[in-house]
Amino acid sequence: MRKKGILVAADESSIALSIKSRLETDGQFKVNIVRDGAAALRSLSATVPDALVLDTSLRGVPAADICRTIRDRERTARLPVILLDGVPGLGLVRGLGLGADDYVSKPFRPEEFEARLKAVLRRHVHDERDTPDRFVGTLITADFADVAVAVRGKPVFLTKREFLLLKFLVNHCNEVLERSRLLTHVWGAEGWDDRIVDSAIWKLRRKLGAGGRQIATVVGFGYRFDEPPKKER
């Protein structure tokens, strides 16, 4: 079985080496370590790993710029990214806004980090295999390959996070989705403030107009995207 390549960009040797030691123990991963932002970008230009672990305190090129570069490049646009930060909460909001798939606060237990990395990789594989390229509903049309959304034929411009949220909702239409599940699959975070989801849903509904009314609030549980089943001809 091919070992999954993990690039760890961190200038703290103790953190980088603890991650490397933990991940390479059972032979599933091969970990490469770089110590500054410029080296991380050079490595990503040469070889795209299966996941990037990025410390926000990295020297040289700021982690924010690295995240933006990754998402702007076609080769790395879908690369799973886990941020490491010593500022809980503040780092979460900043990291998710940059498009990171998960966020881990320092200090952390190596076994917890490994579990979260594996969860991110599983989500990534699931998304690649099982997501339809196009959704055509009563009011909303979405082309996931071209990142295009329209309501009653009129284009709607969404942020990346809003697009991913809509994508998950419509791919699970008529199914009640708990806020924790949306956090895990759309933001890549577990156990954080549900208000992140509520705020994103509110903004998405406003942008979708009439289509936004299809996103129902299920009190005490979460949200559901209502779409009438297609009639058989």
154 in the same domain as 124: no
Q: Given 129, 157, 176, which residue is the final one in a domain?
A: 129
| Residues 103-128: tens digit of each pLDDT | 888 888 888 899 989 888 887 764 54
The residue segments making up the domain with residue 149 are 132-225
| Residues 75-108: tens digit of each pLDDT | 787 889 998 886 555 455 555 666 678 888 888 8
Residue 160 CA to residue 147 CA, distance in Å, equals 9
| The pair of three-digit structure tokens given for residue 45, joined into one six-digit string | 């230009």
Q: What's this model's pTM, rounded to 2 decimal places?
A: 0.57
User: Residue 121 maps to which CATH number?
Assistant: 3.40.50.2300
19 in the same domain as 113: yes
Mean pLDDT of the chain, nearest integer: 84
Q: Residue 171 burial (CB < 10 Å; 0-12/13-18/19+)?
A: middle
Q: Given 71, 98, 129, which residue is the final one in a domain?
A: 129
Residue 124 C-beta-side C-alpha neighbours within 13 Å: 19
Q: Which of 80-94, 172-186, 206-220 has the highest mean pLDDT?
A: 206-220
Q: Residue 129 burial (CB < 10 Å; 0-12/13-18/19+)?
A: exposed
120 in the same domain as 29: yes
Q: Are 137 and 67 in contact (CB under 8 A)?
A: no
Q: What total of structural domains would you count in the chain?
A: 2
Taking CA 164 as the corner, what is the angle to CA 123 and CA 116, rounded to the nearest 5 degrees?
Answer: 30
